[in-house]
Amino acid sequence: MATILVVDDRPANRQFVLSLLGYFGHRLLEAAGGVEALQIVRDERPALVITDIGMKGMDGYQFALHLRADPAVSPPRIIFLTATYFEAEARALAQACGVSRYITKPVEPQVLLEAIDAVLAEPAPPPGERLRPDEKLIDGYVRLMAAKVQQHVSGLEGPGTPTGERTPERTARLESANADLQAEVTRRQQAEEALRHANIRLSEQVVRDPLTGLFNRRYLEESLEREVARAKRSGTPLGIMMIDIDHFKRINDTFGHAAGDAVLAAVSRRMQSMTRVEDILCRYGGEEFVLVMTAASLDTIRERAEMLREGVRRLNIGFESQHIGRVTISVGIAVHPDHGETGSQAMEAADTALYRAKQSGRNRTMVASAARE
C-alpha cells in the first residue's frame, strides 16, 4: 500500500483516477493544482504523484521542477498525464523534469495500474539530486503545446462530418458503437466491483485486529503523523488517549484466556459505540488501546475519556457459563501540540499519564503534564 497524490484541476479527472486506485488499498490524496500539491507533498510525503501536465496556474511540469529544486523535499516519483496530441512534448518534458513516465489520455485503467506498479518498484529519486533543466528547451516545448491546443480547438469547431455521408447510416453506426461501449463499461464495472470487494477484504485484514475488529498498531503508526500534519495545517488540536483494562491479567488467570478475549471484544465494542466517526480507535497491544481524536480540545477529550470509562464500567460481562462481572479502564490523555510537537511525543505523554492513573488506584483519567518549553 502506497501513498499516492492525484493532481488535476478538473474534478472529474481526479475522481476517475481516485476511484480506480481506491480499489487497490492505496492511501490517496488529491489536489486541484500545483501550488496545493506542493504543500501536500511537503506535509504528507507521498511515494508517487500522478499529475496532469497542463493545468491552470502551475502546470504539471512546473510543479515537477519546483519539487526537484526544493532541498527540503524528498522528491516522490511522478507520472504525467497528457492529451494524446501532446505525446511528443510530454515525453520530452518528462525527461527534462526527471519524471518517471507519462500516460496519454483518455487513460486506460490497466495501462495506468501497470505504470503505477512499475514506477513504485523503481528506486525513489535521491533526496540530494537536483536537476538543471534547459529552460529554453522547456519553453520551446511549452510553446508547441500551446500551438497544438489552438489547433485542436479549431479542429473541434470546424466542419467535422463529410457532407456525403447519409444521416441514417451515421446514426446506425453511432448506435452500434454506443451499444458496444455500454456493454464494455458494464463488464468493466462488474469486474472492478468484484476486485474492489476482494481488495477491501484484504486491506481490512492488514489494518484490523482480528479479535476486536478495531484498527491495529500498524494502522495507528501509519496514520498518526498524517493526522498531526493535518492538525497543523488546520490549526486545530489533536487529542490522544491511552487506555488500559485494569487487572486484565487477573481476569486471564481466573477465567482463562478465552474469557479474556471475550472481555477484550466486549470492551472494544462498547468503546467503538461511543466514538465519533472521524476518531481512530486502535488496539495497541494486549489490553491497551489508543484513541486519536481530531479537532479535540483538552476539555473535549477529557469529557470523552470519562464517558468511555463510565461506559465500560457499566458493562456486565459473562463468558459461556462464567460470570466475569464488571471491568474498569484507566486512561491517560494528551493533546498535540500542548503535550508534544510530534505524534510520538504526544503518545509518550499520554502513556506517562496512563501510568500515573494506574499508580493512583486505576479506574480513573489522568491528563499529561504540559510539554517543556
What is the CATH classification number for the domain harbouring 102? 3.40.50.2300
Nearest-angstrom CA–CA distance, 8 and 31: 7
The predicted model scores a pTM of 0.51
Nearest-angstrom CA–CA distance, 63 and 41: 11
What confidence score (pLDDT) does residue 202 get? 44
Helices assigned H by DSSP within 236-366: 248-255, 257-273, 298-313, 343-359
On whether both 116 and 226 belong to a single domain, the answer is no
**Per-residue exposure over 232-250, b if at least 16 CB sit within 10 Å of its own CB, e if not:** eeeeebbbbbbbbbbebee
On whether both 362 and 240 belong to a single domain, the answer is yes
Nearest-angstrom CA–CA distance, 144 and 138: 10
Last residue of one domain, picked from the residues 157, 172, 206: 157
Task: Give the residue among 220, 218, 233, 223 at the shortest CA–CA distance from 43.
Answer: 233
Question: Distance of CA 7 to CAs 37, 49, 120, Å?
Answer: 7, 7, 17
Nearest-angstrom CA–CA distance, 221 and 189: 34
Task: Give the residue among 332, 321, 325 at the shortest CA–CA distance from 250.
Answer: 325
On whether both 16 and 85 belong to a single domain, the answer is yes
On whether both 261 and 152 belong to a single domain, the answer is no
Active-site annotation holder among 287, 288, 303, 320? 287
What confidence score (pLDDT) does residue 180 get? 54
What confidence score (pLDDT) does residue 272 get? 93
* 123 or 283: which leads in pLDDT: 283
What confidence score (pLDDT) does residue 172 get? 56
Domain count, the chain: 2
Write out the residue range of the structural domain in which residue 343 sits: 217-367
Q: Which helix (H) or strand (E) holds 70?
A: none
- Region of poorest pLDDT, from 12-21, 119-128, 347-356: 119-128
On whether both 280 and 361 belong to a single domain, the answer is yes
On whether both 40 and 143 belong to a single domain, the answer is yes
On whether both 122 and 7 belong to a single domain, the answer is yes
**Per-residue exposure over 192-225, b if at least 16 CB sit within 10 Å of its own CB, e if not:** eeeebeeeeeeeeeebbbeebebbbeebbeebbe
Nearest-angstrom CA–CA distance, 125 and 123: 6
269: pLDDT strictly greater than 80: yes
- Non-local (6+) Cβ contacts of 313 within 8 A are 326, 327, 328, 329, 363
Asked if 157 is an active-site residue, the reply is: no
Mean pLDDT score, 323-336: 94
Q: Which helix (H) or strand (E) holds 85?
A: none
On whether both 130 and 240 belong to a single domain, the answer is no
350: pLDDT confidence band, cut at 50, 70 and 90? Answer: very high
Strands (E), 14-76: 27-31, 48-52
Asked if residue 163 belongs to a domain, the reply is no
On whether both 115 and 47 belong to a single domain, the answer is yes
Which residues make beta-bridge pairs with 334? 240
